[in-house]
Structure 1
Amino acid sequence: MNSHILRTLSKSITLLSTLALGVSLTACGSPTNPTPSEKQTDTSESSNKGAALVGVTAEGQPGQKPTITFKTPFKVTDKSSVVLQEGDGENIKAGDRLCVRSIAISAKDGKELDSTWEKGEPDCQIVVDRKTYPAFYDKFLKMKVNGTIGIGIDDNTSADKKSNSYIMALTVVSKSKALTRATGKPVSDIPADLPKVTLNEHGKPSLHLNGYQPSGKLVAQPLIKGSGPAVKGTQSVSVQYTGWLASNGKQFDSSWDRGEPADFSLDGVVKGWKEGLTNQTVGSQVLIVIPPELGYGAQQQKEIPANSTLIFVVDILSAY
């Protein structure tokens, strides 16, 4: 989708995750002390109720690009929604990760603004969770794979202050059970000189430096080997992670502490992350040691001093 619609969709209904890695991962050319950005869940009464989107219909074969119709101009209630097609596949359940294709249609004149049906891979960032998607959670549970949900967006945040209203039609083309932590087999032949990792009952890692002395080279050592597909360098991933300074073992960031995984494109993070995760398998846990030249180099980043070697433990939950 084009960047404006993607930003608006993420801001308005939290259906597409923000790149929530902030200072520790974002590969900015000249970062200015970014901070971790968590998903913003709207827990207001209107959001939780989820107003009905009335007057919008869909035609076409389930699982194929639908034809969306409504009378124009259409008055949009922001975050309103309706199940347009139930679908003919498996029932959608709480905790499922959904892969969707989408269409954005102007409420003013009914013209198609953008579509992901003709390009790229489906977007697989949506995990069916009441906390994250209070306005749409119950409707997702009424659907099956190949079903379509219509969502009204009324965005007033554009630079010209004009309302940008449209209908989003999201078709669920596949689903999988969302992982919450690494689920593979523990790796037995881990080099003895690497930092030692222990996990609490929930899966969050703790680090003991074990006298580790960085070699100046990238290290990507699987600790748990998952049985899922290999991650491609062109993909996005959903992960749980914690990061420490190699100099003193101090933690500077953790998605575990924020209470939810982070989703990001491997093209949007520091080189050490992209190189360290490429070809690892979904379900794996990987210890990554990133030398300064593959991290932030001579630029200080809040709690990360200049020329720091960084250590991460990453659980790969999904790649898409």
Structure 2
Amino acid sequence: MRRILPVLTVAALAVTLAGCAGTAEPDATSTANADECAVSGSSSEAVTASSDFGTLPTVSFDAPLEPEVTERTLVTQGDGDPAPHGAVATIDYSFYNGRSGEVIESTDYTDGQQAVFVLGDQLLAGLRKTIECTPVGSRVIGVAPAADAFGDEGLSDYGIEAGDPLVFVVDLLAAETRAWGEPQDAPDGFPTVELDDDGRPTVTMPDGFETPKTSESAVLIQGDGRAVEETDQVYIQYQGLDAATGEIFDETWDDGNPYSGSASGFITGFTDALVGQKVGSQFIVVIPPAEGYGEASDDNTNELAGKTLVFVVDLLGAVPTV
């Protein structure tokens, strides 16, 4: 059956996809090891899709499909690196119900309107396995059983019944794990930052570091993406330290899963440093208590109250929400 996909709204389903890991336990396909990636099979090979990357696909398959595991078949292969687990992926997508053959949803394949997901364990397993290991610049077909989709509950608002498989056609535009762009020199007196092979920072506080009265920030790597707005959903790697001791109190690099949240949802000094930064950048910000967690008191017992904080941040994505 030949289908021309209508363009539907993305926002509501995207939230669901990013917050539902499916019913299956994480398995070997949650890595980017080439020996453990989802592979092509009879179900994914039964789906055909037009090959023009970056354009709305024409998709055809005979429903119902009955995959036992998530299968992945490349339509066109890009020349970028394979997407690893934990990357921030920018995609255009078209989703179908593998039982009924009906269209579920699509992005509109317009620049700047793509969906962004963290390829972590919270993402719907079938979608994650479709994207992981796929080279950037590729169009890929994924067919997922219910165990890697919405299981025995389904998703009635989108016509997905209990036990329904899903079909994904995905254009992978980017899969980022670290900041990119031009290195920049930090101002004199700022903490120094060294990066390991995976981009994880090591921060060294200078001798006699003077705590600023207001937050101070500096760009360490200048990215070339869109500038963050306060209403954006952002995707970041970060490391937070106590300026007085140099001890790390929180970071995302330890488990490789970037954080996503509202740009306005952080402490004041962090949000002020973040808004206006370009995607792809790395920056460092020093935040005194007044723009952080406040001064410690009987009423303010937060463990970070009264402390000057240092954050190193890789800005990997930003998506408008209004």
Return the TM-score normalized by structure 1: 0.65
- 1:253 pairs with 240, 250, 254, which one? 250
- 2:61 pairs with 53, 70, 73, which one? 70
The 5 A counterparts of 1:224-243 are 224-233=220-229, 234-243=231-240
Residue in 2 aligned with 1:42?
27
The 5 A counterparts of 1:113-132 are 113-117=104-108, 121-125=113-117
Gaps in structure 2 of 5+ consecutive residues: 1-9, 120-124, 156-160
Per the alignment, in what secondary structure is the counterpart of residue 140 of structure 1? coil
Conserved? CA contact 2:29–2:129, under 8 Å: no
Instruction: Provide, for residues 44-67 of structure 1, a one-character-per-residue CA deviation record: whole Å limited to 9, x for no partner.
Output: 799745362343222474431113
Q: Which amino acid counterpart does residue 94 of structure 1 have in structure 2?
A: P
Cα distance in 2 between the residues matched to 1:94 and 1:47: 13
Per the alignment, in what secondary structure is the counterpart of residue 253 of structure 2? helix
Cα distance in 1 between the residues matched to 2:132 and 2:218: 41
Q: Percent identity?
A: 18
Q: Compute the displacement of 1:250 (Å).
A: 2.6
Residue in 2 aligned with 1:169?
169
- 2:137 pairs with 134, 145, 149, which one? 145
Per the alignment, in what secondary structure is the counterpart of residue 311 of structure 1? strand
Q: Compute the displacement of 1:115 (Å).
A: 1.6
Q: Compute the displacement of 1:101 (Å).
A: 0.7
Aligned: 1:205 with 2:190: no
Q: Compute the displacement of 1:251 (Å).
A: 1.3
Residue in 1 aligned with 2:5?
none
Residue in 1 aligned with 2:214?
217
Q: Which amino acid counterpart does residue 50 of structure 1 have in structure 2?
A: V
Conserved? CA contact 1:281–1:316, under 8 Å: yes
Q: Which amino acid counterpart does residue 270 of structure 2 have in structure 1?
A: W
Cα distance in 1 between the residues matched to 2:263 and 2:145: 28
Instruction: Provide, for residues 97-127 of structure 1, a one-character-per-residue CA deviation record: whole Å limited to 9, x for no partner.
Output: 8632112212232222222227862135578
Residue in 2 aligned with 1:29?
none
Cα distance in 1 between the residues matched to 2:132 and 2:305: 48
Residue in 2 aligned with 1:264?
260
Residue in 2 aligned with 1:35?
none
Return the TM-score normalized by structure 2: 0.65
Conserved? CA contact 2:97–2:104, under 8 Å: yes
Aligned: 1:186 with 2:184: yes
- 1:86 pairs with 56, 76, 88, which one? 76
The 5 A counterparts of 1:54-65 are 54=44, 55-59=46-50, 61-65=52-56
Conserved? CA contact 2:228–2:278, under 8 Å: no
Per the alignment, in what secondary structure is the counterpart of residue 271 of structure 2? helix
Conserved? CA contact 1:149–1:169, under 8 Å: yes
Query: Kindly tell me: are residues 269 and 76 of structure 1, through their superposed partners in 2, closer, same or farther at Cα, counting changes over 3 Å?
Result: farther
Cα distance in 2 between the residues matched to 1:135 and 1:109: 22
The 5 A counterparts of 1:4-43 are 6-8=15-17, 11-12=20-21, 42-43=27-28
Q: Compute the displacement of 1:93 (Å).
A: 3.4
Per the alignment, in what secondary structure is the counterpart of residue 28 of structure 2? coil
For the aligned residue pairs, the C-alpha RMSD in angstroms reads: 4.3
Gaps in structure 1 of 5+ consecutive residues: 14-39
Residue in 1 aligned with 2:276?
279
Instruction: Give the number of equivalent residue pairs.
Output: 276
Query: Kindly tell me: are residues 289 and 198 of structure 1, through their superposed partners in 2, closer, same or farther at Cα, counting changes over 3 Å?
Result: closer
